Amino acid sequence: MANKRIILVTGASSGFGRAIALRFAAGGWDIIITGRRAERLSELKGQIEADYGVDVLPLCFDVQDRKAVNEQLANLPAEWQEIDVLVNNAGLALGRANFDEADIDDWETMIDTNIKGLLYVSRGVLPYFEKKGKGHIVNIGSTAAKDVYPMGNVYCATKSAVEAISKAQRIDLLSKKIKVTAIHPGAAETEFSLVRLKGNQAESDKVYAGYHALEARDIADITYYVANQPAHVCINDLVVTCTAQANGLFTYKEG
């Protein structure tokens, strides 16, 4: 694996994370893919290795589980330790309900995954960046970080936290030559809404009806561009929506 570049992407079993893994594999990178669904990770590893001939290391853990994150990341095989880019992508929304009606367990899961999980994984990878003398963290935020919308309450708050943490990392890790990029996508057709709406496919389909939402590969291409800038260039913050969406509050839908 000499002279090859390594990316670790969380939440690679679906959506953006899967598309990012495939895009970087196409560019010749070796990939560490993580998620909770081992079968999907194993299927993706097989596909990538067959199609692109790069190496893939699947790591199955829940980012909410601090001990599991630490154990998995502290014990990477030697040939996988020289990570160039970490993409903190694993995350979710659960429920769409007014503040006074939302499920508090849903709030806790979003906070534990989107905020605490991102913190645990970042800290787990940092020692490898420090040893290497450089690194790049790409945090997947959301337009929900920029505009709070009705019934978005705690999901929006977690993505605002991702934005604040990205700013903090950029400041505090300057001397370690670690780039930090936050990418804030608008609506994208992945499994996101199916998860948010707890398996209700018909309601999930409605979220994407009447316009062409972002596709996972759009964000994968942008992540690849961001990660391939010269050493002296850091793209700090990107907001990316489909053409039909102005911001977190306004989307033009036909019909």
Strand 237-240 vs strand 30-35: parallel, antiparallel, or unpaired? unpaired
The minimum distance between CB 192 and ligand 8X3, in angstroms, equals: 6
* Alpha helix (H) residue ranges in the chain: 15-26, 38-52, 66-74, 104-110, 118-132, 153-172, 192-196, 201-207, 216-227
* Interacting partner of 195 out of ligand NDP, ligand 8X3, none (Cβ under 5 to 8 A depending on kind): ligand NDP
- Residue 130 or 147 with smaller CB distance to ligand NDP: 147
Tokens 């692109």 belong to which residue? Answer: 52
Q: Which stretch binds ligand 8X3 (CB under 6 A): 37-45, 58-66, 142-150, 235-243?
A: 142-150
Site string for ligand NDP, 167-206 (x = CB under 6 A): ------------------x-xx-xxx--x-----------
Q: Are 48 and 54 within 8 A, CB to CB?
A: yes
When asked if residue 245 is in the footprint of ligand NDP (CB under 6 A), the reply is no
When asked if residue 142 is in the footprint of ligand 8X3 (CB under 6 A), the reply is yes
Residue 120 designated active-site: no
The 3-state secondary structure of 182-251, one letter per residue? EEEECCECCCHHHHHCCCCHHHHHHHCCCCCCECHHHHHHHHHHHHCCCCCCCCCEEEECCCCECCCCCE
When asked if residue 102 is in the footprint of ligand 8X3 (CB under 6 A), the reply is no
Q: Are 12 and 21 within 8 A, CB to CB?
A: yes
| Total of residues contacting ligand 8X3 (CB under 6 A) | 7
When asked if residue 9 is in the footprint of ligand NDP (CB under 6 A), the reply is no
The rounded distance, in Å, linking the Cα atoms of 150 and 248 is 10
When asked if residue 140 is in the footprint of ligand 8X3 (CB under 6 A), the reply is no
Residue 59 one-letter amino acid: L
* Interacting partner of 248 out of ligand 8X3, ligand NDP, none (Cβ under 5 to 8 A depending on kind): ligand 8X3
When asked if residue 140 is in the footprint of ligand NDP (CB under 6 A), the reply is yes
When asked if residue 58 is in the footprint of ligand NDP (CB under 6 A), the reply is no
How many CB atoms sit inside 10 A of residue 250's CB? 11
Strand partners, 188: 214
At 176, give phi and psi (nearest 5°): -95, 5
3-class SS of residue 116: helix
Q: Which stretch binds ligand NDP (CB under 6 A): 70-78, 83-91, 172-180, 230-238?
A: 83-91
When asked if residue 115 is in the footprint of ligand NDP (CB under 6 A), the reply is no
Which residues of the chain form contacts with ligand NDP (CB under 6 A)? 10-17, 35-37, 62-64, 89-92, 113, 117, 140, 142, 185, 187-188, 190-192, 195
Active site amino acids: 155
